[in-house]
Amino acid sequence: MGPVLLGAAVAASLLLVVPASPRLPVPAHGSRGNHRRPVLAVAAGAALAALVSHGSTPGLVLPLLTLALVTAVVRAVAARRRDRAATDVRRRVVDLCDALRAELAAGQTPAGALDRAAVEWPFVAPAARAARSGGDVVAAFRSLATTPGGEALRVVAGAWQVAHRTGHGLADTLGRVAADLRAGERTRRVVGGELASARATARLLAALPLLALLMGSGAGADPLRFLLGEPVGLACLAGGLAAGHAGLVWIEALARDVERHG
């Protein structure tokens, strides 16, 4: 019973913490994964409750710690995936602006330029369809801009709206948007390099307790028996893990705040 319940808890937690890969466009009503998460949370809680009711407290410590560790690792990996996806979207937006500017400079109409760009960058296909059918291109761009990394599409939407009213200026505006985005990416890379040392230091400090356990075991002590078999040890273990996790989360939150305002 125990291994089956533990496996159910781990599987439900993994599905709960792993987000879907961000893609363009984002549906306005949200993703299907958001509706399944309450069900998965209940499944994980039920499995863990069953484990508690069928096992002793010391015997549950390692499975629960393993579950917590797996959840933290999966969340960290998912966050890195989201960051990489946002960076990729920002690069595609820069390339899109350059391509639209080149097409407009060559004499293409805005709708034709957007239609040609959608062949290479399918994520702007909704805006291209709106342009062909005479729909609201500005609203389509603003909807696409809700995706992480696509925020600059709001500027493209504004430029499109002004150009639609005045009849000119879209190519120059898109060129300036692309230049600003490149400058922003350079600044973001510099800030990321400066923050890398702080993040590495925080992770090193979080790993030091493991080194202390190894040193204690090598010196003839048995720290694991104390940590896993004594109430005081369990309290120390839980408090230490909570403090270490909180420190990593705090450092990461500070780093992300600097990156957003850098």
Regions of the chain with pLDDT less than 70: 1-65, 167-168, 259-262
| Full domain range(s) for residue 163 | 90-183
Say how many domains are in the chain.
1
In-domain check, residue 38: no
pTM > 0.85: no
In-domain check, residue 8: no
Q: Which pLDDT value is given to residue 252?
A: 79
**Residue 15 half-sphere exposure, CB side, CA atoms within 13 Å?**
18
In-domain check, residue 117: yes
In-domain check, residue 42: no
In-domain check, residue 132: yes
In-domain check, residue 203: no
In-domain check, residue 5: no
Q: Which pLDDT value is given to residue 41?
A: 52
Q: Which pLDDT value is given to residue 105?
A: 86
Give me the helices (H) in the chain, please.
2-17, 32-54, 57-105, 110-120, 125-133, 137-144, 153-166, 170-218, 223-229, 231-261
**Structure tokens of 40?**
């998965």
In-domain check, residue 143: yes
